[in-house]
Amino acid sequence: MRLLIVGRLNGQITTAVKMAMAAGAKVSHVETCLAATNALRAGQGADLMMVDYELDIASLIAANEAERIHVPVVACGVNPDPDRAAAAIRAGAKEFIPLPPDAELIAAVLAAVSDDERPMVTRDAAMQHMLKLADQVAPSDASILITGESGVGKEVMARYLHKKSRRHDRPFISVNCAAIPENLLESELFGHEKGAFTGALARRIGKFEEANGGTLLLDEISEMDVRLQAKLLRAIQEREIDRVGGAKPVRIDIRILATSNRDLTQAVKSGTFREDLLYRLNVVNLRLPALRERPGDILALAEHFSKKYAAANGISERPLSAEARRRLVSHRWPGNVRELENALHRAVLLSVGAEIDEAAIRLPDGQPLEPAAGAASNGSVAAMAATRAAQAVGSAYGDVNLAALVGHTVAEVEQKLILDTLTHCLGNRTHAATILGISIHTLRNKLKEYSEMGVSVPAPQAGMSAASAA
C-alpha cells in the first residue's frame, strides 16, 4: 500500500511513519496540502494520505476532487483537541489517529481505510483449477481478460495475478471504466497537458503513466466507448500513449489486465466492442465461476468475512451455528461473493448470542435468508450434488450406485455426469444438454474447459448432423 504523509515530520509523525512502513506501507512525504495535490497530479500515486490535522484538510480534499483524484484521508495530531479532531472528520477524513501513535492502531487503520488486503479465499475444486491456471500465467507479461458475473471477485483475481507476477513490487492501478464519464475517461487514462481543455489547469499524469513498470487493471472494459478503444489498442500495441493535448508520445512499460461481466464476443457482433482489441486483451481468459457453481467456497468465505468484520467493528469472533451454515450453503447467492460479504457483515452486527445464528443472516431488505427448496438438512453440498447427479443419470440410462459418488467433489461429480451423459448420447451435444437440463452454450463451455485440462471428451459419431454435433 502507498501512503502519502502530509505535514511536518516532527518526532511523533516520524514514529508513525516507521510503524506504517513496518506494517508494509510504502511511504512518501510532502509538507503542504498544495504539494500533496501536485504530487498526486504528477502521478506519484497514493492509496491513503495521513494528514496533520492542523492543515486545511477540507481544502486538500476539494483540490484533489477538482482534479478527479480520490484518495482517502486519515487525520493525525499530537495531544489532540477533541473539537479539532471532530472538525477533521467533518472535513472528510475517514479516521483520526492520535499521536504519539500506537502500532496496532496504525496497522488497523491502514487495513480498514485502504482495504488493500483482499486475500484469495477458496476451497472449491472449480476455483482451485482457476488458481492453478492463474499461477501458470501470472509471471508472464501477457494481457489477461478476467470474466464472470458481477461480484464473483474479478478484481481480487487481478490483484492475485499482480502479486504473483514479476511486477509485484511495482504499482497496481485500477480504473473502473464504468464509473468514469465517457468525456473524462480519456484524460483519466492517458493524462492531459495544461490548457488541453477547459478546466485543465495543470499537467495531469494519467493512470497509464502512474502504473508504469507495474500493472494496470481496466475494470469493466466493456463499458469503454468505441472511439477510446482505438486509442487503447494503439497504446497496447505500440507501448506508448499520447496525453490529451500532448505534442509527443510517452513510452510506457505496463502489464494490462481487464475484466468484464458481459459477453465480449457478443459485444463484438453488436458493434460495441472492437474485435482487434478483444484479441489483444484476451491472450488468456480466466472465467471465474459464480458462487453457486463453487459451493465449496461458501463456508470458507463466510468464515473469512465473519472474522474480518468482527475485527473491523471491535466485536469478539463468533462461530457460525450449524443452522446458519446450512442456510448459507443452500442459498443461491445471485449477487455472488459481494452479496455473501454484505450478508456476513450484517450478521456480525446483528448477532447477539455465542454463535452467529440463522436469524442474524438476512437479505438486504431485512428479510431472513430462506433455504433453497429441497436443500439437504445436513448442509452437505457435495452429497446433495451427488444425489442430484445420480438421479439425472439414472433417469437417462439406468440406476447408479449413489454410495460410489460420496467423497468426491462437486466438480468431479459434475464432470463425470456430463462426460458419461455425452458418451451415452454418442457425442450428440444437443441431446446431452437436454438430458442434463442445461443450455447447449453451457455444455460447450464445460467441454472446452475439460479439453483444456487434458480430459478426453467424446467426439460426435459419424453420421450425426452438424447442428447436433456442434
Q: What's the pLDDT tens digit per position in 407-439?
A: 667 777 888 889 988 888 888 888 888 778 787
Average pLDDT over residues 170-180: 90
Per-residue pLDDT band for 151 (boundaries 50, 70, 90) equals: very high
Q: How far apart are the C-alpha atoms of 125 and 122, rounded to whole Å?
A: 9
Per-position DSSP letters for 329-380, written without gaps between them: HHS--TTHHHHHHHHHHHHHHH--SSSB-GGG-B-TTS-B-PPPTT--TT--
The residue length of the chain stands at 470
Asked whether residue 383 carries a pLDDT value surpassing 60, the answer given is no
pLDDT given at position 59: 93
Name every residue whose Cβ is closer than 8 Å to that of residue 162 and which is 6 or more positions away in sequence.
Answer: 168, 172, 214, 215, 255, 257
Per-residue pLDDT band for 114 (boundaries 50, 70, 90) equals: low
Name every residue whose Cβ is closer than 8 Å to that of residue 149 and which is 6 or more positions away in sequence.
Answer: 261, 290, 336
Dihedral pair phi/psi, residue 216, rounded to 5° = -115, 120
Closest CA to 221 of 187, 179, 190: 179
pLDDT given at position 134: 96
Per-residue pLDDT band for 450 (boundaries 50, 70, 90) equals: confident
Indicate the average pLDDT of the chain: 84
Task: Determine what percent of the chain is predicted with pLDDT higher than 70.
Answer: 87
Asked whether residue 188 carries a pLDDT value surpassing 70, the answer given is yes
* pLDDT digits 0-9 by tens, 347-371: 999 998 899 999 999 888 778 876 5
Q: Which three cell numbers stand for residue 147?
A: 470474466
Q: How far apart are the C-alpha atoms of 65 and 258, rounded to whole Å?
A: 26
Asked whether residue 374 carries a pLDDT value surpassing 60, the answer given is no
Asked whether residue 149 carries a pLDDT value surpassing 70, the answer given is yes
Q: Examine residue 249 and say whether the peptide bond preceding it is cis (omega within 30 degrees of 0).
A: no
Q: How far apart are the C-alpha atoms of 64 and 67, rounded to whole Å?
A: 5
Q: How far apart are the C-alpha atoms of 114 and 260, rounded to whole Å?
A: 24
Strand partners, 196: none
pLDDT given at position 439: 77
Name every residue whose Cβ is closer than 8 Å to that of residue 120 and which is 6 or more positions away in sequence.
Answer: 131, 153, 156, 157, 160
Strand partners, 3: 27, 48
Per-residue pLDDT band for 335 (boundaries 50, 70, 90) equals: very high
Instruction: Give this prediction's pTM.
Output: 0.68
Task: Determine what percent of the chain is predicted with pLDDT higher than 90.
Answer: 45
> What three-state secondary structure class fits 116?
coil
Closest CA to 388 of 300, 396, 294: 396
Average pLDDT over residues 243-269: 93
Largest CA distance in the chain: 86
Domains with residue ranges and CATH for the chain: 2-114 (3.40.50.2300), 125-289 (3.40.50.300), 292-360 (1.10.8.60), 383-469 (1.10.10)
Per-position DSSP letters for 427-447, written without gaps between them: T-HHHHHHHHTS-HHHHHHHH
pLDDT given at position 360: 92
Which of these ranges, 155-159, 215-219, 414-418, has the smallest mean pLDDT? 414-418
pLDDT given at position 390: 47
Higher pLDDT, 105 or 6: 6
What is the per-residue burial (b if ≥16 Cβ within 10 Å, else e) of 114-134? Answer: beeeeeebbebbbbbbbbebb
pLDDT given at position 453: 82
Q: How far apart are the C-alpha atoms of 307 and 287, rounded to whole Å?
A: 28
Asked whether residue 396 carries a pLDDT value surpassing 50, the answer given is no
Which of these ranges, 12-16, 254-258, 294-298, has the smallest mean pLDDT? 12-16
Please give the sequence-ordered ranges of beta strands (E in DSSP) within 164-277, or none if there are none.
172-176, 215-219, 240-241, 250-251, 255-260
Q: How far apart are the C-alpha atoms of 215 and 172, rounded to whole Å?
A: 5
